[in-house]
Amino acid sequence: MLKKIQIYEQATCCAKNGVTQNELDQFSELIDKLRSNDIYVERYNLSTSPMEFVNNKIVHELLYAKGTSQLPITVVNNVIIMTSRYLTENEFIEL
């Protein structure tokens, strides 16, 4: 079954969750690698795509209840599988 992966990210690279620019760069490289292997991945940034956060009911409800400290949020086939950090390459492989 084809998996739809959506990643909802904080508005700035200066993460409140301690994500560094280097980590963001490495994660971007990983996403590019997944996409080159025909894995469907969408990324949404709170500052550039705020309506994506509103339109996804489960993401919106989580952020309303617990705040932006939950970002980044990874959703697979409309199920939240990770909050507050990015998945590792091994975790993506296990999906």
Residue pLDDT, tens place only, 35-88: 888 888 999 999 999 999 999 999 999 999 999 999 999 999 999 999 999 998
User: Residue 8 pairs with which residues in a beta bridge?
Assistant: 44, 73
Which residues lie across from 9 on neighbouring strands? Answer: 45
Is 85 in contact with 24 (CB distance < 8 Å)?
no
pLDDT for residue 15 is more than 70: no
pLDDT of residue 1: 62
Q: Is the pLDDT of residue 14 over 80?
A: no
Alpha helices in 3-80 (DSSP H): 21-36, 50-55, 57-66
The pLDDT of residue 82 is 97
Token pair in block for residue 54: 């509103």
